[in-house]
Amino acid sequence: MKESAIYIHVPFCDHKCIYCDFYSIINHENINEFLDALTKEINLHSENHSNGRLFTSIFFGGGTPSLMKPEYINYILSSLKDHYLISDDAEITLETNPGTVDKKKLSDFLKYGINRLSVGIQTFHDEELKFLTRIHDSDTAIRTVKEAKEIGFNNINVDLIFNLPGQSIKKWRENLSRAISLPVTHISAYSLILEKGTILNKMVLDGKVKMQDADYDAEIYELTISFLKDHGFKQYEVSNYAKEGFQCRHNMAYWHYVDYLSFGPSAHSFVNGKRWWNYSSLRKYITEINSGRSAIANSEILSSEQMLSEYVMLALRSNGLNITALKEKFGDKWINEKFEYLKALQRRGLLYFEDSLIQLTSKGYSLCDEILEKIL
């Protein structure tokens, strides 16, 4: 039985945050049409991709999935279970924004099968939340996490963003301190990145906002790694830290190059070396599905060279490149050609060898993009 993962893209948001480039809309009028099209798409792909697969992770992303009524999430999960073999202990994650849930709603999500929450806090400083145009304040964020724990969620992630314009080391350390004081098992900490087409990018181009430099970003990043390690959160990917046994199963599927199916507008799938992606338009998505077609906008079949590069990149960004597994999948030509360079990186303290595993050090993680560019 081949393990796989499922992603559901829920496109609805209350408003568009200035830094976000994920597909989302603030018009909620088509929720019922979306649910109908989504379940049709789930059924459509089951004909070719359900046999011989055990799905061990389901992830609701967006958008803001927690805007949905719990009954809608249950409806989607029921459709998935009708068409795919879902593991009894599957990790089922719901991205959750403070300000969109209360204790009753969280309790209903838990009742219907959600067993992991990923809470988009970003920062505990209200002035920074206002800059990011988040709809919640710090008190609401803290209350959301505490209430989730109280009603029975034992696997909770919080998302944080560092290196905001004008953000001091002191403020970022306070964010980390507040996060570890909460009943969380996982922390995702990302550097603020300018994405084309976002409001923030235009603000920077217009000179209204000034980003901090790369050296300062690296300083905050290294502080993050050290701080979270000292408080029991092991780094297992460039931007992700978990207590023992709480690494995100869905993320691990991506980073270990496991096949995954995705449903909803703009969703990307990867199966047997083929990647495809849906239209980034809810209206187009619904129209295509209701016309009896797939909502696939385009696709590509990866060459063996592309797959090798992606496999190495994803493995080194996460918890290590297994040499034995690499040779089984792609032969030993690449590792033989790169071995001396990898040993040189080891001498510089950027990675280490442990049995057949090659893993970046904390210092190596901070230079990950540079290392990968040279290796690949």
The pLDDT of residue 316 is above 90: yes
How far is residue 278 CA from its own chain's centroid?
Answer: 18
Going by pLDDT thresholds of 50, 70 and 90, the confidence category of residue 376 is confident
pTM, two decimal places: 0.95
CATH code for the part of the protein at 2-255: 3.20.20.70
- Quick one: DSSP state of residue 303? P
Pairing type for strands 186-191 and 156-162 reads: parallel
pLDDT in tens, 290-303: 999 999 999 999 99
pLDDT in tens, 117-172: 999 999 999 999 999 999 999 999 999 999 999 999 999 999 999 999 999 999 99
The pLDDT of residue 260 is above 90: yes
Stretch 164-183: mean pLDDT, rounded? 97
Q: Provide the token pair at 283.
A: 């209206």
Q: How far, in Å, CA of 299 to CA of 278, rounded?
A: 9
- Quick one: DSSP state of residue 50? S
Position 29 scores a pLDDT of 87
304-375 CATH fold: Arc Repressor Mutant, subunit A (1.10.10)
Pairing type for strands 260-263 and 2-10 reads: parallel
Going by pLDDT thresholds of 50, 70 and 90, the confidence category of residue 58 is very high
Position 194 scores a pLDDT of 87
Average pLDDT over all residues of the chain: 95
**DSSP characters for 118-178?**
EEEEE-S-HHHHHHTT-S--HHHHHHHHHHHHHTT---EEEEEEE--TT--HHHHHHHHHH
**DSSP characters for 189-221?**
EEE----TTSHHHHHHHTTS--PPPHHHHHHHH
Angstrom distances, CA of residue 329 to CA of 49, 152, 308, 333: 22, 41, 9, 11
**Which is it for the CA torsion 321, 325, 329, 334, positive or negative?**
positive
% of the chain residues with pLDDT over 90: 91
**Which is it for the CA torsion 187, 193, 197, 199, positive or negative?**
positive
Cα 293–Cα 307–Cα 347 angle in degrees, nearest 5: 150
- Where are the domain boundaries for CATH 1.10.10.920 in the chain? 304-375
Going by pLDDT thresholds of 50, 70 and 90, the confidence category of residue 355 is confident
pLDDT in tens, 3-55: 999 999 999 999 899 999 999 999 888 999 999 999 999 999 998 898 899 99
- Quick one: DSSP state of residue 331? -
- The residue among 159 and 213 whose pLDDT is bigger is 159
Position 182 scores a pLDDT of 98
17, 134 contact by CB (below 8 A): yes
Position 152 scores a pLDDT of 98
Position 319 scores a pLDDT of 87
Q: How far, in Å, CA of 365 to CA of 133, rounded?
A: 30
Q: Provide the token pair at 144.
A: 């959301």
% of the chain residues with pLDDT over 70: 100
Angstrom distances, CA of residue 317 to CA of 321, 341, 342, 358: 9, 17, 15, 11
Position 300 scores a pLDDT of 97
- Where are the domain boundaries for CATH 3.20.20.70 in the chain? 2-255
Q: How far, in Å, CA of 134 to CA of 242, rounded?
A: 25
Stretch 190-212: mean pLDDT, rounded? 92
pLDDT in tens, 59-107: 999 999 999 999 999 999 999 999 999 999 999 999 999 999 999 999 9
β-pair partners for 92: 58
ω into residue 63 within 30 of 0, thus cis? yes
